Every structure is written in C-alpha cells, then in structure tokens.
C-alpha cells in the first residue's frame, strides 16, 4: 500500500518538476506562470480583504453600501491621462467643530454664518441645541460631481429616548464664488437620522432669481448637480472649479436644549458625520450603474475563477482518467459501455444543455453557490470524454508493454499494475489535461452569465453580463466591460499558454511508441 502511494506521489512530484522546467524554458510558459502567480496572490488578497457576506451585499445593488457610492463613475486614474473627471471624496469620522445652545437667530449665525448667507434664506429662527460639522472639497477638473451625501452615525446610551429627540438637518454648500446654497433641510429624529442628499428644491427658486435664469423650478431640478457645481454661461453651464465648503448643521428640537447639551457633553449622545462627494471617478476600477465598486466585484472574481476552473478541471481529469484507464485496462463489456457513453457525450451540444439546466435551476429558484455547483456539475458530467479517450489509448498501449506483462508474471494484482505501472505514466498527460481544462470551465461560466443564467455571485462573467444587460457599452462605460473581460482572457491565456508548453512534454509520450 505504501509503495503504491509513493509511486504516485513521486511521479507527480517528478512530472511537476519536469513540467516546471519545461514551462520556464519558453517565454509563453513564463508569461503563463507569472499570470498564474498574480491570480493566486490576488485571490489570497481577495479572501483576506472582502467580508464573507460580500456576495450577499453585491446581490442587492440598491442597498448600502452601494447607494453611498457614485454611479457610473470612471476609475480615478483616468485623470492621469487628462480625462476631465471630478474626484470622489469621502470625509469620514467628522466631529462637530462647533456646538452650543441657540436661543436667538444671532446665536445660530455665530455658529454657522452660512445660514445667513445662503441664497434667499434670510434669517432662520430656531431655538435649540446645535452642532456644526464642516469640511471642504476641491474641484480641480472641469467636471460636475454627481451628488453630496452626508451620513450620520448616532450612538446613544440607554438614558436617551432617540425617537423623542427631533433633529433638523441643514446642509449648506459654500461655492468658490462665495455663493452659499442651502442644499438640504430635513426634519428627522435621532432614531431616523441616517443620511441626507442634495435636494434641488431647497434652493431652486432663489438660484433662478439670483442668476436671472429663464427656466422653471421643475427644469431646474432636471439639471441635477450642474446647478450646484456650475455657473451659468449664457444658456449653458460650466463647471466651477475651486474649493467648496460643506457645512452640516444639526439642530435638536422637542427637548430642553440644556438637557441635550449635557447629554452630549456627558457622552450619552455621540454623533459623527461622513460627507461623501460623489465625483465622476471612483476607486481603482470605477463603479457600475448602481454605484457598486467594480474593483471589489472583480477582486471577488479571482478566487471564484481559480476555484471553479480548478475544481471542474480536476473533476474532469479525475473521472476521465479513471474511466479511461478502467476502460483500457480491463476491456470487455465495461470498455464497451464506457466507449458508447463517451460517444454520446462527445456529440452532445454542451452549451444548449448548460443553458437548459441553468434556466431549469433558475425556475426552480436555486441561487448562489448551489446554482454554481449545479452548473459545474453539468460541465464535469459532459466533459470527461476527451480525457477518457486519450487515457484509454495510453492505458492500452502501456498495458501491452512488456514490463506490465512482467509484473503480471510476477503475480502483481490489477490494482498494483494500475497504480504502480500505468497511472504514473499518465501523470504528465493528466497534468497537461488539468491545465487545459481550467479555462473551459471559467469561460463557460462567464458565457452562461452573459446569457442571463444568474447564479447571483459576483464573477467576472456576471459583471460582464450586467454591463451587457444595462447597455454599459452604449454608454461608453469601458471600465465596466474591459477589466473583467481582460482578466477572463488573461486567466485563460495563462492556462492555454501553460498547456501549449506542456504539450511538448505530452506529445512525444503519445507518439513515442
């Protein structure tokens, strides 16, 4: 038993070493190895960085965290190539830099002078306790950011009844031309205080009258953020570059201001803010039409591609090798049955079948890993034929080698002959077949995704499918189409390249006798 294992392990190690030497002797092989190493490193990084519930998050594009990302944003680095994009900026963990009890309008204006200067607002009349958060954003390209969103993190002790404390949230943006816009005003409670976005309605009418524009308030709203970040030039707008001040004013109402003040000072209420300016560029690889970070999606694709490719290929080679050797070595009726089965699966139109099964499992409601597993299973079931044919013919030729006859004459069992004399000879071929089988699986998965067979996991194919379905091409969103496709191709290329170089090892063995 031990000798048998040694035989296999030694020959695997030996052909690995031989294979590596062969592979590294050609440029194509070197490229393959380099890409494969890159894939492995990225997979490890992905597993380390991404949370385990990432696929679940990705599946619901209209929920956080994606709604707090700019949509359709290009990769940030396009700026280096002269593209006019607005950066996405995230100012997190902002603490109130001013606070105090507001008993008169003057007191409020001392805390947040923007409130007075805001277009057309006039002197606000509030009484309560106020907190002010500030940050600034520099627009250094001729582009319009898409939105400004302020998120709040509220922590309270048990003493505080959150829904009893009302909060008025005001957001002011001070532009480089010193015009101040009140971009949001919302009445919430501490319990519902989560985020506010720019509301065009809050400044539409004073804006129109200030710039003497000839448009209605409704038209104003359709301008989106051009109004906030641009200045009218004739009938058009152009981006206004420079530094923008963003001021958040929280006013606590419905409660004695002194009580709130003491709660805040004692740390019973802790509020921090995060301001996100949605630019037109984001991160390493931009975002899709829902604001999902494509870098994260693509990062998740690395381990999935490796796992799907290797598992499928491994299973194909294992089944094909076993059945091929059994068929070749034992012959007879078993051989006949396996041969006929191979005949059938070799002629089966695999892709239609996969789509059929994909649609079937979808109508059955399978999603996520089980759905992917079914697709992989089908791939394996109908793909082992080629490996079986070649292993069979190799087993047949080895079987008639005198040294196998010699082993038989010595009284070796069939198991010993198969494991000690036949399988070790097939290992180099199995390695090459393994390598060649990997891209097939991953490309099939990607193709199915593009056809809309949705297993719900963020894979490269899935991202491409989303791009295709949402007309990413029509909107010139190259960053949505190129990276997943290139990675898919690179990944396959690595294995095809390795396979081509390994072929030179396998080929003479096949032709030697």
Partner 1 sequence: MPLDRRSLRIIAFRGLTLTFTLFVIVLLTSVIMGATGYDETVLKSLINEEIRAFRQELSRPGSPYTPEEREKLVREQEARLRQIYGLDKPWYERTVSYLPKLVTLDLYVTSDDVAGVLGLRRPLKVGEAIAVALPRTIIMITLAYALSALIAIPMGPYIAYKRGSLLDKGVIAYAAITNAFPVWWLAMLSIFFFGFYLNVAPTTYRPVIAHITSLSESLSSLDVASALSALIRIAYFSYVPIIVVTFSTLGSWLYSARAVAIRVVSEDYVAAARARGLSESTVVRRYVLRVIAGSVLTFIILGLAGSISGYIITESVFDWPGMGLLTYVSISVGDSQMVLAIVYVTTLVYVAARFLLEVLYVILDPRVKL
Partner 2 sequence: MEVLKVQGLKVWFPVRKGLLDVLLGRQEFVRAVDGVSFNVSRGETFCLVGESGCGKTTTARAIMMLIDRGDVRGGKVLFKPREEVLSEIKKLQPSAIVDSGYVDVLATRGQANKLIRREIQLIFQDPFGSINPRMRVYDVVEEPLIIHGIGSREEREEAVAKALEAVKLSASDFMYRFPHQLSGGQRQRVAIARTLVLNPSLLLADEPVSMLDVSIRAEILQVLDELKKTRGMSVIFITHDIALARYICDRIGVMYLGKIVEIARADEIVENPKHPYTKALISAVPDVVPENRKVLRNVPIKGEVPSAVRIPVGCRFRPRCVAFDENPGIQEKCRKEEPGLLRVGEEHYSACWLN
In the chain, count of helices (H) and strands (E)? 19, 11
User: What's the min distance (Å) between Cβ of 411 and partner 2?
Assistant: 4
- Residues 323, 361, 430, 441: which binds partner 1 (CB under 8 A)? 361
Distance CA 457, CA 200 (A): 37
Report residue 398 as tokens: 């080895």
Closest distance of CB 10 from partner 1, Å: 31
Residue located via tokens 């699966």:
345
Q: Which of 177, 347, 402, 513 binds partner 1 (CB under 8 A)?
A: 347
Q: How far is the CB of 420 from partner 2 (least distance, A)?
A: 8
Of 226, 245, 500, 509, which lies in the binding site for partner 1, with binding defined by CB under 8 A?
500
Beta carbon of residue 336, minimum distance to partner 2 (angstroms, whole number): 9
- 362 to 381, contacts with partner 1 by CB under 8 A? 363-364
Nearest to partner 2 of 85, 394 (CB atom): 394
Report how far residue 91's alpha carbon sits from residue 273's, in angstroms, rounded to the nearest whole number. Answer: 8
Picked from partner 2, partner 1, none, the partner binding residue 188 (CB below 5 to 8 A depending on kind) is: none
Q: Do residues 34 and 497 lie in contact, with contact meaning Cβ atoms separated by under 8 Å?
A: no
Which string of DSSP letters, residue by residue, matches 4-43?
HHHHHHHHHHHHHHHHHHHHHTSHHHHHHHHHHHHHHHHH
CB 457 within 8 A of CB 55: yes
Residue 450: strand, helix, or coil? helix
Residue among 5, 106, 243, 343 that touches partner 1 (CB under 8 A): 343
Q: How far is CA 411 from the centre of its chain?
A: 58
CB of 388 to partner 1, least distance (A): 15
439 binds partner 1 (CB under 8 A): yes
447 backbone dihedrals φ, ψ, rounded to 5°: -60, -45
CB 441 within 8 A of CB 308: yes
Binding to partner 1 by CB under 8 A, coded x per residue (else -) over 469-498, reads ----xx-x-x--xx--x--xxxxxxxxxx-
Minimum distance from residue 389 beta carbon to partner 2 (Å): 20
By beta-carbon proximity to partner 1, the closer residue of 224 and 493 is 493
Residues 119-148 contacting partner 1, CB under 8 A: none
269 CB-near residues (< 8 Å, 6+ apart):
154, 155, 156, 157, 160, 165, 190, 260, 263
Select the binding partner of residue 369 from partner 1, partner 2, none (C-beta < 5 to 8 A, by kind): none
Which of 223, 143, 141 has its CA nearest to residue 181? Answer: 223
Residues 387-426 that bind partner 2 (CB under 8 A): 401-403, 405-413, 416, 420-421, 424-425
Closest distance to partner 1 from the beta carbon of 465 (Å):
10
Beta strand 195-197 pairing with 98-102: unpaired
Residue of 9, 40, 334, 351 interacting with partner 1 (CB under 8 A): 351
Q: How far is the CB of 425 from partner 2 (least distance, A)?
A: 7
- Min dist CB 11 to partner 2, Å, is 6
Name residue 439's beta-bridge partners: none
Residues touching partner 2, count (CB under 8 A): 20
- Closer CB to partner 1, 202 or 361, in the complex: 361
Given partner 2, partner 1, none, residue 410, with its beta carbon under 5 to 8 Å by kind, binds partner 2
By CB under 8 A, the count of residues binding partner 1 is: 47
Contact (Cβ atoms closer than 8 angstroms) between residue 383 and residue 316: yes
Burial zone of 446 (CB within 10 Å; 0-12 exposed, 13-18 middle, 19+ buried): buried
Residue 357's binding partner among partner 2, partner 1, none (Cβ under 5 to 8 angstroms by kind) is: partner 1
- Per partner kind, with CB cut-offs from 5 to 8 A, the member of partner 2, partner 1, none near residue 356 is partner 1
Q: Could you tell me which residues come within 8 angstroms of residue 266 by beta carbon, excluding any fewer than 6 positions away?
A: none
Identify residues 25-44 at the interface with partner 1 (CB under 8 A). 27-28
Is there a contact between 183 and 270 (Cβ–Cβ < 8 Å)?
no
For residue 368, give both structure tokens: 């996520």
What are 242's strand-pairing partners?
Answer: 139
Position among 360, 406, 415, 510 found at the interface with partner 1 (CB under 8 A): 360
Helix, coil or strand: residue 488: helix
416 binds, among partner 1, partner 2, none (CB under 5 to 8 A by kind): partner 2
Q: Report the residue from 356, 406, 469, 510 that binds partner 1 according to the rule CB under 8 A.
A: 356
Using CB under 8 A as the binding rule, whether residue 451 contacts partner 1 is answered as yes
Torsion angle of C-alpha atoms 143, 144, 146, 149, degrees rounded to 10: 110
Strand partners, 153: 272
- The CA-based dihedral angle spanning residues 102, 103, 105, 109, taken in that order and rounded to the nearest 10 degrees: -30
What is the contact surface with partner 2 in residues (CB under 8 A)?
3, 11, 14, 401-403, 405-413, 416, 420-421, 424-425
Binding site for partner 1 (CB under 8 A): 27-28, 340, 343-344, 347-349, 351-353, 355-357, 359-361, 363-364, 439, 443, 446-447, 450-452, 464, 467-468, 473-474, 476, 478, 481-482, 485, 488-497, 500
């Amino acid at each position: 038993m031990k000798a048998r294992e040694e035989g296999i392990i030694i020959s695997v190690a030996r052909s690995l070493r031989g294979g590596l030497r062969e592979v590294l002797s050609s440029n194509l092989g070197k490229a393959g190895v380099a890409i494969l190493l890159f894939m492995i490193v990225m997979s490890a990084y992905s597993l380390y960085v991404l949370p385990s519930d990432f696929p679940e998050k990705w599946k619901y594009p209209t929920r956080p965290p994606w709604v707090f990302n700019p949509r359709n944003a290009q990769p940030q680095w396009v700026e280096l190539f002269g593209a006019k994009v607005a950066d996405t900026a995230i100012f997190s963990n902002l603490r109130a830099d001013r606070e105090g009890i507001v008993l008169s309008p003057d007191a409020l204006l001392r805390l947040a002078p923007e409130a007075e200067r805001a277009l057309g607002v006039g002197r606000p009349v509030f009484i309560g306790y106020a907190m002010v958060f500030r940050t600034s954003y520099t627009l250094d390209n001729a582009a319009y950011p898409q939105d400004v969103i302020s998120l709040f993190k509220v922590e309270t002790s048990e003493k505080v009844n959150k829904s009893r404390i009302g909060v008025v949230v005001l957001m002011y943006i001070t532009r480089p031309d010193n015009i101040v816009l009140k971009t949001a005003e919302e009445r919430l409670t501490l319990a519902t205080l989560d985020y506010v976005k720019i509301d065009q309605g809050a400044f539409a009418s004073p804006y129109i009258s200030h710039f003497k524009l000839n448009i209605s308030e409704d038209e104003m709203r359709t301008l989106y953020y051009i109004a906030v970040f641009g200045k009218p030039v004739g009938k058009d707008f152009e981006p206004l570059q420079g530094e923008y001040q963003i001021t958040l004013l929280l006013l606590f109402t419905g409660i004695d201001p002194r009580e709130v003040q003491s709660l805040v000072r004692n740390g019973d209420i802790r509020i921090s803010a995060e301001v996100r300016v949605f630019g037109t560029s984001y991160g390493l690889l931009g975002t899709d039409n829902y604001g999902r970070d494509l870098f994260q999606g693509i990062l998740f694709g690395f381990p999935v591609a490796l796992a799907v490719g290797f598992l499928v290929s491994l299973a194909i080679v294992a089944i094909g090798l076993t059945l091929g050797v059994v068929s070749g070595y034992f012959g007879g009726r078993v051989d006949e049955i396996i041969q006929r089965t191979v005949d059938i699966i070799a002629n089966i139109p695999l892709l239609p079948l996969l789509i059929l099964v994909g649609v079937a499992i979808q109508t059955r409601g399978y999603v996520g890993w089980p759905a992917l597993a079914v697709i992989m299973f089908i791939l394996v079931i109908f793909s082992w034929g080629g490996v079986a044919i070649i292993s069979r013919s190799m087993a047949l030729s080895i079987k008639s080698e005198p040294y196998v006859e010699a082993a038989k004459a010595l009284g070796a069992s069939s198991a010993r002959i198969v494991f000690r004399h036949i399988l070790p000879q097939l290992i180099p071929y199995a390695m090459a077949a393994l390598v060649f089988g990997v891209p097939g699986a991953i490309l099939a998965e990607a193709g199915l995704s593009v056809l809309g067979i949705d297993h719900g996991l963020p894979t490269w194919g899935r991202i491409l499918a989303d791009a295709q379905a949402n007309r990413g091409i029509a909107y010139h969103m190259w960053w949505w189409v190129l990276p997943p496709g290139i990675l898919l191709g690179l990944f396959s290329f690595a294995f095809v390249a390795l396979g081509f170089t390994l072929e030179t090892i396998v080929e003479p063995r096949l032709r030697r006798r």
